[in-house]
Amino acid sequence: MSFKNALKFLSAHPLIDAAIQKEAYVPLDLSLHNNDLKGVDVSSSKDLEAYIWKYLEQNNARVAYGGYLERRGIYRRSSYFNEENKKSERNIHLGLDVWIEEDTPIYAPLDGTIHSFKNNTNFGDYGPTIILYHEFDNIQFYTLYGHLSVESIEGISIGSFIKRGQQIATLGVSDINGDYPPHLHFQIIKDIGDYHGDYPGVCSNSELQAYKENCPDPNWLLKL
């Protein structure tokens, strides 16, 4: 079975409250091509948050999601992503974002174990992050959960078993989540290498093919 088919075959628990119906989800475009963002100061977490909540209200939705392989302008505010050589600018998003209120509980989509966790405190980074390790039909992979609350990484242990549907975290506020509106960054990683509690969630165009292969579309699993 291919990796893609394996993910599609799996029955994932929703990342947030299972009682929220799919009709309450709406796709959100934060790419450079979204003309509506031209009037929004995306360098301000408050302005971006106001835009997202207004978008949810206009669409009669509770949850906004999307962002896989989007080229975004939001990362230009941070030297962590912006290098002097523009050819190596990191602005392509490798995960799927789920935008919803702070303190929202986050649930494990699959059985797994805690691989690692860390508070990534660079400006524009993940903030508190948890990575789970999964095995299925001789296939091994990892899932990353970024922009969590500090409490989410307190009192947990590497190697602990996590059951599908078990709450693993809550969402953090902008002061501790890398300075973003509250949301979850969810990413699938085939080979995590030597990373612990962290893995690139944004890449440059020159790196895209390799990262696209190693970090497949999360919606193969989530089916939003």
Beta-sheet pairing, 63-66 with 25-27: parallel
Strands (E) located in 147-214: 161-162, 167-170, 183-189, 202-203
The superfamily CATH assigns to domain 3-222 is Glucose Permease (Domain IIA) (2.70.70.10)
Beta-sheet pairing, 112-120 with 161-162: antiparallel
CA–CA gap between residue 110 and residue 118 (Å, rounded): 21
Q: What is the pLDDT of residues 79-124, one digit of tens each?
A: 555 654 555 788 999 999 999 999 999 999 999 999 999 999 988 8
Residues 144 and 184: beta-carbon distance below 8 Å: no
Tens-level pLDDT at each residue, the chain (224 residues): 789 998 999 999 999 999 999 999 999 999 999 999 988 988 888 999 999 999 999 999 999 999 999 999 887 765 555 654 555 788 999 999 999 999 999 999 999 999 999 999 988 889 999 999 999 888 999 999 999 999 999 999 999 999 999 999 999 998 898 889 999 999 999 999 999 999 999 999 999 999 999 999 999 999 99
Domain ranges of the chain: 3-222
